[in-house]
């Protein structure tokens, strides 16, 4: 895993997942509203969440990167997650790339937290990973997520279907070209 242990922004603290995050992650990922644009399959058990955290932690070990917990810097409250994921299975004809993602509890929607966390990860991809491009996908119906990506400077490249759901493919060039 990277030697970087936290990322801070004006309002947020981002840090790697630990096993202690299971209950908060379960609260978020068992919420049907959160999974509205994620295939409508909220998790049903804490065991599923433990497996998800194990997978994320394995990504830290294998690739030095993964989704990180986002907390409120003022009080430490779990808000959701954001981060870069190294994609190892083909999606939309792409393989071996960094995907920007984020997910928050509904009470934190609409306050710019996803954009703020996303900006921190775009900066990390540019300054720490030296990437030329990063990618993201959003459900074609998820206008809020699409707006976040556009605020971060991503451009829509195409519409595609993944796992039976219509998505938009986004790309961000990090080299200033």
Q: Where are the alpha helices (DSSP H) in 41-112?
A: 46-63
Overall CATH class of domain 7-131: alpha beta
Q: How far is CA 109 from CA 3, 58, 144, in A?
A: 30, 29, 9
**What pLDDT shows up at residue 74?**
96
CA–CA separation, 54 and 25 (whole Å): 13
**What pLDDT shows up at residue 76?**
96
**What pLDDT shows up at residue 4?**
60
**What pLDDT shows up at residue 176?**
64
**What pLDDT shows up at residue 18?**
96
- Average pLDDT per consecutive 10 residues, the chain (177 residues; last block may be shorter): 76 97 97 91 95 96 95 97 95 94 97 98 94 96 97 96 91 82
Domain spans of the chain, in order of start = 7-131
**What pLDDT shows up at residue 151?**
97
């Amino acid at each position: 895993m990277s030697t970087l242990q936290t990322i801070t922004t004006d309002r947020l603290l981002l840090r790697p997942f630990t096993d202690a995050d299971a209950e908060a992650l379960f609260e978020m990922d068992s919420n049907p509203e959160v999974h509205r644009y994620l295939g409508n399959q909220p998790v049903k058990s804490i065991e599923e969440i433990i497996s998800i955290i194990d997978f994320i932690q394995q990504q830290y070990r294998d690739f030095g990167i993964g989704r990180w917990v986002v907390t409120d810097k003022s009080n430490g409250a779990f808000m959701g997650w954001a981060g870069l994921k190294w994609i190892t299975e083909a999606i939309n004809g792409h393989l071996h790339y960094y995907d920007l993602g984020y997910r928050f509890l509904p009470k934190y929607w609409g306050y710019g937290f996803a954009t703020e966390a996303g900006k921190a990860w775009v900066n990390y991809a540019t300054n720490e990973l030296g990437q030329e491009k990063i990618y993201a996908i959003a459900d074609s119906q998820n206008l809020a997520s699409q707006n976040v990506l556009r605020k971060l400077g991503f451009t829509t490249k195409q519409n595609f279907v993944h796992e039976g759901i219509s998505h938009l493919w986004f790309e961000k060039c990090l080299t200033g070209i």
